[in-house]
């Protein structure tokens, strides 16, 4: 067996419909385009989403939500994740490099520390932003925060 005698599986391919090859072919005359109208003319293209004059789906469905163009998006890291990280690797300071090294953030991310869970260890945490509950929990455990 070589490349010259490979064939597709039987029944997996079909011949394309040959249109416009005379009236005897069954697809001559108007060549499956119907009579008159824009669709029968050469070069006719319909707009994407055009539904024949019916109100298109994208205009029937109500508009929802708003995203400001200059928003800042943060990657959220919760306190329970930080506590588990500190216990597993016996860390006392958690900075952006540590979060990056353990796969919690990538180099262009902004990190926000969120307040789910609790911190038992005394940690010095460095991040771009902190929620109010996270800040209270860290300081109550004797830790400190540093904003980048």
Task: Provide the mean pLDDT of the chain.
Answer: 92
What separation in angstroms does the CA of 137 have from each of 87, 131, 134, 143, 144?
Answer: 17, 10, 5, 9, 10
Residue 75's pLDDT is 94
The 10s digit of each residue's pLDDT in 79-121 is: 999 999 999 998 889 999 999 999 999 999 999 999 999 898 8
User: Residue 130: beta bridge partners?
Assistant: 113
Distance CA 148, CA 134 (A): 16
Q: Which domains does the chain have, with CATH numbers?
A: 72-145 (3.100.10.10)
Structural contact between residues 113 and 130, judged by C-beta atoms closer than 8 angstroms: yes
């Amino acid at each position: 067996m070589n490349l010259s005698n490979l064939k597709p599986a039987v029944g997996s391919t079909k011949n394309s419909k040959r249109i416009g090859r005379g009236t005897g072919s069954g697809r001559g005359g108007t060549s499956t385009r119907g009579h008159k109208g824009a669709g029968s003319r050469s070069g006719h293209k319909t707009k994407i989403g055009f539904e024949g004059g019916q109100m298109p789906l994208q205009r029937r469905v109500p508009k929802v939500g708003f995203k400001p163009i200059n928003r800042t998006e943060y990657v959220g890291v919760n306190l329970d994740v930080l506590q588990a990280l500190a216990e597993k690797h016996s860390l006392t300071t958690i900075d952006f490099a540590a979060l990056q090294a353990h796969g919690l953030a990538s180099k262009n991310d902004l990190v926000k520390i969120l307040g789910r869970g609790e911190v038992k260890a005394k940690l010095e945490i460095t991040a771009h932003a902190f929620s109010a509950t996270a800040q209270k929990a860290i300081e109550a455990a004797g830790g400190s925060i540093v904003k980048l």
